[in-house]
Amino acid sequence: MGKEKKSIEDEIKEAKKRKKEKAKETSIVKEEKEVDLSFLDIEKEKPVKEKKKKETKKKEEIKNKIEKKDDLDNIKIRGEDFDIEKYDYSKEKKDNNQKSKLSIFFLIISLLAIIGYSYHVYKSLDFKALEIIDIIKSFSFSLISLIVILILFKINNKKATLYIIFLSLLLIGYSVFSYSYAKEDDLYVLDFINKDYSEVLAWTEKNNIALNTLHEFSDTVEYNHVIMQNYGIDKLVSEIKTFTITISDGPNENKEIVVPNFTGFKFDDVMKYIEENHLSNVEIEFIISDKERDTVIEQVGSGTMRRNDLIKFVFSYGEEIETTEVKDLKGLSLFEATTYLKRYGIKYNLEYEFNDKVKRGYVISQDKVGEVVENITLKISKGKEIIVPNFSKMSTTEIAKWATSNNIKIKYESVYNKDYENGKFIKASANENDKIEEGLEIVITLSKGSIIMPEITNISEFKLWATSNNIHYEENLEFSTTIKSGELINVTPKAGEKITENDTIILTISKGKSVTTPNLIGLTKNEISNKCKSIGLTCTFKYGGLTEGTKKDVSTSQSKKSGLTVAEGTNITVTLSSGIVEKVNVPSFNGKSKSEIQSSCNSLGIKCNFNYNNSFSSTPKDTAISQDKSGNMNKGSTINITLSKGSAQTYTVVIDGSLLSLGNPEQTKNTLKNKLQSSCPGVTFNFSFKPANSGIGYLSQDSQVKVGSNTFTEGKSYNVIINSSN
């Protein structure tokens, strides 16, 4: 056994004992060496005494600490003699100062960590969805940690300092983790309103969120920009799986609006209306006239119209064309630029080219600026030159991004194809490396894989499936004594087998039991009903009118001949006699009026059909000219009677200048057509246009219809010829 290790208490006792013994020896030595120092100056001893007094006081303090066991961890006394006289108390002071500074440093770090952690907790919490208790729980860690650090800070020893360091590092690590967690998982949904569609695509792909895209026309939101989204900015990304947005397709060109008549309006007012109402098919012209410059003198198209319907405005140059130095038209739309040039009588040529910086349909440049010119050449942008990529190597998300960034419309079609797996690219309507313009629609065909023959449990559902997938099928009907009518007997190919779009599926369907049709002619209605019922057929009846020898309710014919093999339950339509016909004597009606003839037909029990002769005659109108039957005939028969149209009527119509539209042949035609047709019933008018250098919209000299008084005869045709520019 080795020597037992002494306890701290035993060591302290021994240290005190050795101290007392040494003090006793020191006292004896002092007594032996004591001399008379009275001859020294007492004042010189004071600084020495003060110094010794301070040292003695400090030693007493250290002694008290040792006796109280407060600083035993900081003083090494094991295995050696402890001499309080030799103890370096200045070193202890220095160590205490270092411990204090270290504790303060880590206290500050801890406070910063708590503040950072608390901030990120605050930003990541959805306070709208939490109760107050949840919010308190979220900050409890920070509060408890702060209290513990403050308590440890009061304890100025080595262990307390180590605890402060450990807890500070823990708080820093936890704060960094919480920030990282919030950064990755607790981000809120962004506001994409009025943002480009491509931004939404990139965001949903980054956050692994399914994107559902709806489309809607909008007059206020730019094409391909977001109108609305289903989640707001207070929604956490981690809480959603599908993000739904509505994308603008721009203004609806088919929308109906009410276009007023702008005749007499000024140029700027009309242009403002066109822009605000998104009219997309407007033609502008200027002509010399006595009307005020820049006022509308003629308009084609007004009232309820679609935005893309043609509307034409003719403005006045005044009595002469005003010249001006042509301004810089760069950046204007084609419509704006050409309207400006027409306004000042400047002719123009258009050249189109690709341009990455100028929007499609807008002016890139012009050959003359700041000059008074008669003609000018404008270069119009076709948009950026788009090179078709290899779609077969792109995902649908990548294709959507490419199409969005290039303003290309993509339409997907899916077909079955045994050579391509489900979802694989088959072909596109544009080939790789083709150069195309913005706005083009590309059709991409994807594979639905091989067609697998389904198990048929319902024939109607199968037919719907086959039709929707463009699968051909045929039906073969067979009699069967075991399978009910309409049910499936057999199908080729069988369920589970692969088929192609060119294959034809054969369905063999039961017609039920076979029955031979009987002869029902000459039987009464009751006899027919009983016979059909006994052999499994159904019979329906209809009356065929009067007959010369067959009594009422006796069969005269049947829809299916006797001796045919038909399915059980087949329906046969049987025609019954309405009774024996009565004979009547029909006289000649020539020369009689329509009302007299109708009265006679009613009394005889026959039907009379009336029609008019093709030509006019001197015979009074509605007088019978001929008939197709007369004499002895069956009651209920029908005869056809031809009536006279009478003599032709003459109409007088006055054509004045208010019915003619200068510069607008089409408007003149419509106005005259309405006037002549309403005034001259029975008269035919043939309208045509003839090129002319002047008087556009007026009647040609070759026209049979003239300005002034015209006489037209019923039944005749007249040519109406209008001057036109081409």
Q: Does residue 593 or residue 614 have the better pLDDT? A: 593
Same-domain pairing of 507 and 546:
no
Q: Is residue 190 part of a domain?
A: no
For residue 82, pLDDT over 80 is answered with no
- What pLDDT, on a 0 to 100 scale, did the predictor assign at position 130? 44
Mean pLDDT to the nearest integer, 9-33: 59
Helix (H, G, I), strand (E, B) or coil at 124: helix
Mean pLDDT to the nearest integer, 263-292: 93
Same-domain pairing of 360 and 307:
yes
Same-domain pairing of 361 and 292:
yes
For residue 29, pLDDT over 50 is answered with no
The residue length of the chain stands at: 726
- The CATH number covering residue 214 comes to 3.30.10
- What pLDDT, on a 0 to 100 scale, did the predictor assign at position 50? 64
Q: Is residue 284 part of a domain?
A: yes
Backbone dihedral angles phi then psi of residue 529, each to the nearest 5 degrees: -60, -45
Mean pLDDT to the nearest integer, 398-427: 84
- What pLDDT, on a 0 to 100 scale, did the predictor assign at position 460? 84
pLDDT-based confidence at residue 327 (cuts at 50, 70, 90): very high
Same-domain pairing of 346 and 399:
no
Mean pLDDT to the nearest integer, 602-606: 90
Q: Is residue 502 part of a domain?
A: yes
* pLDDT tens digits, one per residue of 231-250: 988 888 888 889 999 999 88
- What pLDDT, on a 0 to 100 scale, did the predictor assign at position 206? 84
Q: Is residue 570 part of a domain?
A: yes
Q: Is residue 466 part of a domain?
A: yes
For residue 503, pLDDT over 90 is answered with no
Same-domain pairing of 358 and 280:
yes
Q: How far apart are CA 687 and CA 359, in angstroms?
A: 44
Q: What is the CA radius of gyration of the chain?
A: 55
For residue 70, pLDDT over 70 is answered with no
- What pLDDT, on a 0 to 100 scale, did the predictor assign at position 150? 64
Domain count, the chain: 9
* pLDDT tens digits, one per residue of 129-184: 444 555 565 566 666 666 666 665 565 556 666 666 676 666 666 666 655 554 44
- What pLDDT, on a 0 to 100 scale, did the predictor assign at position 266? 94
C-alpha angle 292/298/301, rounded to 5°?
Answer: 145
Q: How far apart are CA 252 and CA 275, in angstroms?
A: 14
For residue 411, pLDDT over 50 is answered with yes
- What pLDDT, on a 0 to 100 scale, did the predictor assign at position 72? 45
Same-domain pairing of 271 and 331:
yes
* pLDDT tens digits, one per residue of 712-726: 999 899 999 999 987
Same-domain pairing of 395 and 324:
no
- What pLDDT, on a 0 to 100 scale, did the predictor assign at position 164? 63
For residue 186, pLDDT over 70 is answered with no
Q: Among 218-222, 318-322, 481-485, name the one with the lowest average pLDDT.
A: 481-485
Percent of the chain with pLDDT over 90: 40
In the block, residue with structure tokens 């110094």: 51
* pLDDT tens digits, one per residue of 125-143: 544 444 455 556 556 666 6
In the block, residue with structure tokens 């002719």: 347
Q: Is residue 191 part of a domain?
A: no
Helix (H, G, I), strand (E, B) or coil at 228: strand
Same-domain pairing of 545 and 595:
no
Q: How far apart are CA 674 and CA 653, in angstroms?
A: 12
Q: Has this prediction a pTM greater than 0.75?
A: no
- What pLDDT, on a 0 to 100 scale, did the predictor assign at position 116? 64
For residue 626, pLDDT over 60 is answered with yes
* Alpha carbon 17 to chain centroid, angstroms: 97
Do 374 and 405 contact (CB within 8 A), yes or no?
A: no
Residue ending a domain, among 40, 55, 87, is: 87
- What pLDDT, on a 0 to 100 scale, did the predictor assign at position 414? 81
- The CATH number covering residue 409 comes to 3.30.10.20
pLDDT-based confidence at residue 662 (cuts at 50, 70, 90): confident
C-alpha angle 145/150/155, rounded to 5°?
Answer: 125
* pLDDT tens digits, one per residue of 417-471: 878 888 889 999 999 999 998 888 899 998 888 888 888 878 888 888 888 777 8
For residue 579, pLDDT over 50 is answered with yes
Give 379-416 as a DSSP string: EEE--S-EE---GGGS-HHHHHHHHHHTT-EEEEEEE-
Residue ending a domain, among 576, 594, 622, is: 576
- In the DSSP assignment, the letter for residue 724 is E
Q: What is the amino acid identity at position 68?
A: K
Same-domain pairing of 355 and 267:
yes
Q: What is the mean pLDDT of the chain?
A: 81
For residue 187, pLDDT over 90 is answered with no
Q: Is residue 3 part of a domain?
A: no
Do 343 and 300 contact (CB within 8 A), yes or no?
A: no
H or E, element range at 340: helix 334-343
- What pLDDT, on a 0 to 100 scale, did the predictor assign at position 462? 83
Same-domain pairing of 372 and 306:
yes
Residue ending a domain, among 33, 66, 87, is: 87
Same-domain pairing of 264 and 363:
yes
* pLDDT tens digits, one per residue of 94-128: 455 555 566 566 667 666 766 666 665 555 554 44
Q: How far apart are CA 446 and CA 235, in angstroms?
A: 35
- What pLDDT, on a 0 to 100 scale, did the predictor assign at position 711? 94
pLDDT-based confidence at residue 4 (cuts at 50, 70, 90): very low
Do 672 and 689 contact (CB within 8 A), yes or no?
A: no
For residue 361, pLDDT over 50 is answered with yes
Q: Is residue 1 part of a domain?
A: no
Same-domain pairing of 286 and 308:
yes
Mean pLDDT to the nearest integer, 263-277: 94
Domain residue limits at 243? 197-248
Mean pLDDT to the nearest integer, 566-583: 88
- What pLDDT, on a 0 to 100 scale, did the predictor assign at position 136? 60
Residue 540: partners with Cβ closer than 8 Å, 6 or more residues away? 571, 572, 573, 574
12: which 2 tokens?
Answer: 């302290």
